Amino acid sequence: MSDGGYPFGVVRDRSGNLYGVNSIGGAYGQGTVFEFSSTGVETTLYTFGTVSGDGKQPIGTLVLDSAGNLYGVTVEGGAIGNGSMFKVSPGGTGTILHSFGGPYGNSVDGYLPQAGLIIDKNGNLFGTTGYGGNNDDGVVFEYSASGEYTILANLSRPAARRCLTRA
């Protein structure tokens, strides 16, 4: 499947073009970033698996900055294999901004993002992971416009829920 499958939500730019991700497919089977122009023309902007350490299986809705760059996360891939945060330029150049990771159950950094990102008016990105952090229950993170990754909160399931999941 060259253009991908299992799409997630789309974001629309000022010109009416729609952008989204397919979590599978593309030339390497690892997902794509796509555009549907306002006239209905489909274009694959980026194919995951293009470079070593690339993300794999993008998830969630992309966010768009004022310069037309698209940002999102992958559930797998990156330098460690536990997901990545990426940027795709209007020209289709992909860049890994952050590789999530560390060994399972032993990662202060978050890993395996479970949803897309949000962006504020200053270009700072915010998101969550399903695992990692001090309790291995995920983190809330910020990736600043200047390129600094910061954990804002370590998540923790309530004790009662932890007991139920162990039963």
Determine the average pLDDT of the residues in 8-28: 91
Hey, which of 17-21, 49-53, 100-104 has the most confident mean pLDDT?
A: 17-21
Percent of the chain with pLDDT over 90: 65
Q: Show me where the domains of the chain are located.
A: 5-118
pLDDT of residue 25: 86
Give which of 61, 59, 3 is closest to 28, Cα–Cα: 3
Of residues 7 and 19, more confidently modeled: 19
| 126-156 b/e (C-beta count within 10 Å ≥ 16 → b) | ebbbbbbbeebbbbbbebeeeeebebeebbe
Give which of 42, 113, 53 is closest to 77, Cα–Cα: 53
3-state secondary structure the chain: CCCCEEECCCEECCCCCEEEEEEEECCCCECEEEEECCCCCEEEEEECCCCCCCEEEEEEEEEECCCCCEEEEEEEECCCEECEEEEECCCCCEEEEEECCCCCCCCCCEEEECCCCEECCCCCEEEEEEEECCCCCCEEEEECCCCCEEEEEECCCCHHHHHHHHC
**Confidence class of residue 167 from pLDDT cuts 50, 70 and 90?**
very low
In tens, the pLDDT along 95-148 reads 999 999 855 545 678 899 989 999 999 999 999 999 888 888 889 999 999 999
The domain defined by 5-118 folds into Thrombin, subunit H (2.40.10)
